[in-house]
Amino acid sequence: MRDILLIGINHKTAPVELRECIAFDKDESSAALETLRRTPFILEALLYSTCNRVELLVVTDDKARAVEAAKQFISGRNNIPTARFENSLYVHENDHAVRHLFRVAASLDSMIVGEPQILGQIKEAYRGAAEAKTAGVILNRLMHRAFFIAKRIRTETGIGDHAVSISYAAVELGRKIFGSLEGKRVLLIGAGEMAELAVEHLIRHQVGATYVANRTFENGLTLARRFKGTAIRFEEIEEHLKQVDIIISSTGSPGFVVTRDQVKPVIRARRNRPIFFIDIAVPRDIDPEINRLDHSYVYDIDDLKGVIEENIEDRQKEAIKGERIIDEAIIRFREWLDGLDVVPTIVALRKKLEAMAEVEIRRTAQGQGMSAEAAEALQRMMGAFINKVLHEPTVFLKKDGMLGDKAAQIDTVRKLFKLDEP
């Protein structure tokens, strides 16, 4: 019996300090999938790691061992003791796992309900699993359904109205701090998707000078040119801290990009003008110790929850419509999944009846001296008879049989007709 399991940790169950310890970058995810592929009782696997969650989706024939393997797998990430994260870990099985995936893909489980980035991140994770050949028949079908459902929810509900993202929340936080962002000078550290979205929102608020710092200068220059900003080199960050009002950081750096020791002399140079850091990276880019300095304020991704709560009520109303769509999708996927177990039995039963019929037709044709035409007519009649005989068992296995123990029903049919005997 194959089971679908989803094992994970997210922003609801664990603080950013814990999430950043077990986060995977793209290269690490590829290596992780290679490891999982070699685990005998894990038949299929997919891993996605974002700033707000790390989740492992597997198909297994041994649930208990798969869960334990997942724990050890997470523990092996930076040698983290299981006891440190076990209470934050959730395990969803079968329909509950499918529901969770659909909700995540549709951004119903996001910190900001309706944000569009998560779907792209999951699609990227699926591409990685496909390349690693760890996604098989079940996960292929499941992921494509997840993408379809996510698109349908965004189309048929208002969940995407006034679209928001982590970047949007970061800009809103800056606006709340200053009252208005008009004329404020901004430094963006990182030139990825998060930074790009942040710039879009900042422009709408008519910010002043915008600087972009990226380890790959060319990428920073590309982003800066698009929005009439100024690209600077990473080495120039400390100097520009003296000029800007808001720093929004979103890199993939393993350690702090801006440290307390860098900021301390900057405060004096700024003559105590406040400086605000908004850190939307996981692992964090901004040293939280900067908060201890006078006139310096650091907000990380968990601090954005307060900004998000103001818009949550309207989105939740639309989310209810999305939940109904998911309820229907789970039933459809379950029917398809149940059919996977049923189909081999139906095919085997048909083959057995056809083989028996073939023997009897040949014997009758030879004994009665039938012509080829008569034998062919007899074969057609027998084919029609087999179809009628199989109709009720097929309906039972595909539909009625699901009301009870499906595995037991299939086993009964296989034993009754001796389908597993040579």
Q: Where are the alpha helices (DSSP H) in 23-136?
A: 26-37, 63-75, 82-85, 95-105, 117-132
pLDDT value for 406: 66
Mean pLDDT on 15-19: 90
| 3-162 homologous superfamily | Glutamyl-tRNA reductase, N-terminal domain (3.30.460.30)
Identical fold for domains 3-162 and 166-308, yes or no, is no
pLDDT of 214 > 50? The answer is yes
Confidence of residue 351 (pLDDT cuts 50, 70, 90): confident
More confident residue, 190 or 315: 190
Q: Place 402 in a pLDDT band, splitting at 50, 70 and 90.
A: very low
CA separation for the pair 116, 279 (Å, rounded) = 20
Nearest 10 degrees: CA dihedral of 84, 87, 88, 90? 130
Which of 51, 153, 164, 213 is labelled catalytic? 51
pTM value?
0.62
- Stretch 242-252: mean pLDDT: 89
Sort 363 into a burial class: Cβ within 10 Å, 0-12 / 13-18 / 19+.
exposed
**pLDDT at residue number 379:** 86
Give me the residue spans of the domains in the chain.
3-162, 166-308, 347-416
Decide if pLDDT at 401 tops 50: no
pLDDT value at position 422?
63
Q: What does the alpha-carbon distance between residue 185 and residue 240 come to, in Å, rounded to a whole number?
A: 10
Let me know if 396 is exposed, middle or buried by CB neighbors in 10 A (0-12, 13-18, 19+): middle
The answer on pLDDT for 383 being more than 60 is yes
Mean pLDDT check: name the lowest of 46-50, 125-129, 130-134, 192-196: 192-196
pLDDT of residue 13 exceeding 60, the answer is yes
Confirm if 317 and 289 have CB atoms less than 8 A apart: no
**In the predicted model, is pLDDT for residue 141 greater than 90?**
yes
Taking each continuous run of H as one helix and of E as one strand, the counts in the chain are 16, 10
Q: For residues 284 and 194, give the distance between their C-alpha atoms in angstroms, rounded to a whole number.
A: 14
What CATH number does domain 166-308 carry, 1.20.58.2050, 3.30.390.50, 1.10.10.10, 3.40.50.720?
3.40.50.720
pLDDT, mean of residues 377-395: 84
Predicted confidence (pLDDT) at residue 309 exceeds the cutoff of 90: no
- What pLDDT does residue 323 have? 94
The tokens for 149 are 């459902």
Per mean pLDDT, which range of 247-256, 267-276, 391-400 is the poorest? 391-400
pLDDT of residue 405: 61
Mean pLDDT, the chain, whole residue set: 86
Q: Is 51 noted as a catalytic residue in this protein? A: yes
